Amino acid sequence: MRVNVHLYRSLDDVAADAGPALDRAAQPSLFDRLDWFRLVATHLPDICPVIVRAESGGAKAWLFLTDRGHGRAEALACWYTLGFAPVFAGDGQNDILLAACARAAKRHFHHVMLTPLADADRAVLERAFTATGWGTIATPVSINRQVAVGDGFAAFWAARPGRLRSTAQRKAKAAGLRIEVSDGYDPAAWAAYESVYAESWKGEEGSPTFQQALAMQEGAAGTLRLGIAYLADQPVAAQYWLVEGGRATIHKLAYAESARALSPGTVLTAAMFRHVIDRDRPAIVDFGTGDDPYKADWMDQRHTLWRIDLHRLSHPAGLYGYARARAAALVRARRAA
């Protein structure tokens, strides 16, 4: 099997080579699309894209990285990335293509760090890199929670803990909040979202321009669900979801600290679940990253997200880094035993 490998340092060059293979119609996951990587590269500092592409018989694999200098690279990702993975297109032997990417990366880097990875993506990356002379260290870094909702909101809600249902119903009645959900980007609703976020326990958004650009992009595509809870005319809770391909993902949520006693976040979350489940009919609702205790009341499934550090064993710095990382991992394992 002959594999053609190329390294790009421009997303425009990747686009010219890939054609529609990295567009929305071809890639079900937001985080596998060229539009997503453009957002990351455009709105966040210190991003130097380096993309390894392997191709054989029309099938392709891409590994989207950012160059950190001194022989180090990381996933082309950011705080807003809820999942990172190698990207594939066409019918081919993905392991062979990804192994070719791993061999190509050896010519440029001695350390590559990738995160956040689901179990399956971690496994395929470890397999490809280990087979091509890299040492791999996997570390759990976060949690993803999901729930199956294919039977409609009523069935989902009946399965929630009684205390959650009681709180949501009681607070909704007592607070008298007005809930508005926009199925698209609305400037006034987005201004309300930013107002709530600024007044929440989360403080200022890390990159407001990134969030707005994403909301506008996905609003135009019809996947955005933007919910605001108002007390009189004052926004007190806000969140936005993206709904596509049978999956609804909760990207951001916040409430104003001044309204904490009203539980506006709980009230709005219940309203958003009802709106999305009964209107969009997803099979899965995904709560993104983070193991906040309150998420367990809404979600039934809990999955580990991983970081993998890949060390090129044929390079002195890579071998030294791998030895240190292995020793540290053994110490952590003993302490956890």
Per-residue pLDDT tens digits for 49-87: 999 999 999 999 999 999 999 999 999 999 899 999 999
Report the CATH number at residue 87.
3.40.630
Q: Do 60 and 137 reside in the same domain of the chain?
A: yes
Angle at the Cα of 238 (from 234 to 243), degrees rounded to 5? 145
**CA–CA gap between residue 85 and residue 118 (Å, rounded):** 8
**CA–CA gap between residue 291 and residue 109 (Å, rounded):** 33
Q: Does residue 73 belong to any structural domain of this protein?
A: yes
pLDDT recorded at residue 1: 75
CA 248 to chain centre: 12
The region, left, alpha or beta by phi > 0 then psi within -120 to 50, assigned to residue 245 is left
Q: Do 194 and 125 reside in the same domain of the chain?
A: no
Note down the domain range covering 219. 150-282
As for how many domains the chain has, the answer is: 2
Say whether 293 sits in a helix, a strand or coil: coil
Q: Does residue 15 belong to any structural domain of this protein?
A: yes
Average pLDDT over residues 110-128: 97
* Residue 201's pLDDT band (cuts 50, 70, 90): confident
**Whether this model's pTM surpasses 0.85:** yes
Q: Do 163 and 274 reside in the same domain of the chain?
A: yes
The region, left, alpha or beta by phi > 0 then psi within -120 to 50, assigned to residue 12 is alpha
Q: Does residue 287 belong to any structural domain of this protein?
A: no
Q: How many other CB atoms sit within 10 Å of the CB of residue 204?
A: 10
The amino acid present at 39, given as its one-letter code, is L
The region, left, alpha or beta by phi > 0 then psi within -120 to 50, assigned to residue 264 is alpha
Helices (H) and strands (E) in the chain, counts: 11, 13
Q: Do 159 and 277 reside in the same domain of the chain?
A: yes
